[in-house]
């Protein structure tokens, strides 16, 4: 997927924001309350015990992932915390052609690739109320050791700066009170 294109009849949203700010929690509710559908990403990161292959992610080996890069099967991909993450292009393009609303929940590097390929993409940046709360949320999720938590916090600052300088992130939603944030996201998407 190298050429610039259009999303035809469907609408394409990108939801980005630092790891732990609440993107998955918000997306779960958006899927319940709207007709939007979430693209399932591929990743080389190990599956954690509460995740299901083909539901949360397609969990691939590095070789499998790189073969898909070579076969040009990703709409975008990026290396995040030493692992690869990418959006399989075909299902997204088919659903957009079919007029569906698609959400990509991806990091800012990936979002910028999607914006340059599909300029009409609508970006929503989800922000934590502050760094301390972000740290608590990452810890409470119970998935990461101390070192990974530190890396996620360092990346968060860089990611927020990058996103704020992109004009495609038209909306910013601070995920403080969960119900209010859900309401805002649903309004934007509808």
Nearest to ligand 5GP of 1, 80 (CB atom) = 80
110 binds ligand 5GP (CB under 6 A): yes
Nearest to ligand 5GP of 59, 188 (CB atom) = 59
Give the full edge-to-edge strand order of the sheet including 42-43: 58-59, 42-43, 83-88, 74-80
**Shortest distance (Å) from residue 136 CB to ligand ADP:** 8
**Interface pattern 99-138 for ligand ADP (x via CB under 6 A):** --------------------------------------x-
Give the CA radius of gyration of the chain: 16
DSSP state of 39: P
Among 20, 88, 110, 123, binds ligand ADP (CB under 6 A): 20
Nearest to ligand ADP of 87, 175 (CB atom) = 175
Is 31 strand, coil or helix? Answer: helix
Partner from ligand 5GP, ligand ADP, none binding residue 185, C-beta < 5-8 Å depending on class:
none
Burial of 82 (0-12, 13-18, 19+ CB in 10 A): exposed
Nearest to ligand 5GP of 106, 189 (CB atom) = 106
Cα-flanking dihedrals φ and ψ of residue 12, to 5°?
Answer: -115, 125
Nearest to ligand 5GP of 87, 101 (CB atom) = 87
45 binds ligand 5GP (CB under 6 A): yes
Among 11, 33, 37, 141, binds ligand ADP (CB under 6 A): 141
Partner from ligand 5GP, ligand ADP, none binding residue 41, C-beta < 5-8 Å depending on class:
ligand 5GP
Cβ contact 10:98 at 8 Å: yes
Helix (H) or strand (E) holding 33: helix 23-33
> Which residues on neighbouring strands pair with residue 79, listed in sequence order?
84
> Alpha-carbon distance 78 to 110, whole Å?
6
Helix (H) or strand (E) holding 131: helix 131-141
The residues binding ligand ADP (CB under 6 A) are 19-25, 137, 140-141, 175, 178, 181
């Amino acid at each position: 997927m190298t050429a610039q294109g259009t999303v035809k009849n469907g609408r394409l949203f990108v939801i980005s924001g630092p790891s732990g700010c609440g993107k998955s929690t918000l997306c779960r509710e958006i899927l319940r309350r709207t007709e939007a559908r979430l693209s399932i990403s591929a990743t080389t990161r190990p599956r954690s015990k509460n995740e299901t292959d083909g539901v949360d992610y397609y969990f691939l080996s590095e070789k499998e992932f790189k073969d898909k890069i070579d076969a040009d099967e990703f709409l975008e991909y990026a290396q995040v915390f030493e692992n690869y993450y990418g959006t399989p292009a075909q299902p997204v393009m088919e659903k957009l052609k079919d007029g569906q609303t698609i959400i990509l929940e991806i990091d800012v590097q990936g979002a910028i690739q999607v914006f340059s390929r599909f300029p009409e993409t609508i970006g929503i940046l989800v922000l934590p109320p502050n760094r301390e709360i972000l740290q608590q949320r990452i810890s409470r999720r119970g998935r990461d050791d101390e070192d990974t938590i530190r890396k996620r916090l360092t990346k968060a600052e860089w990611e927020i700066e990058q996103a704020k300088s992109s004009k495609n992130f038209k909306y910013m939603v601070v995920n403080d009170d969960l119900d209010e944030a859900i309401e805002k996201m649903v309004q934007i998407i509808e």
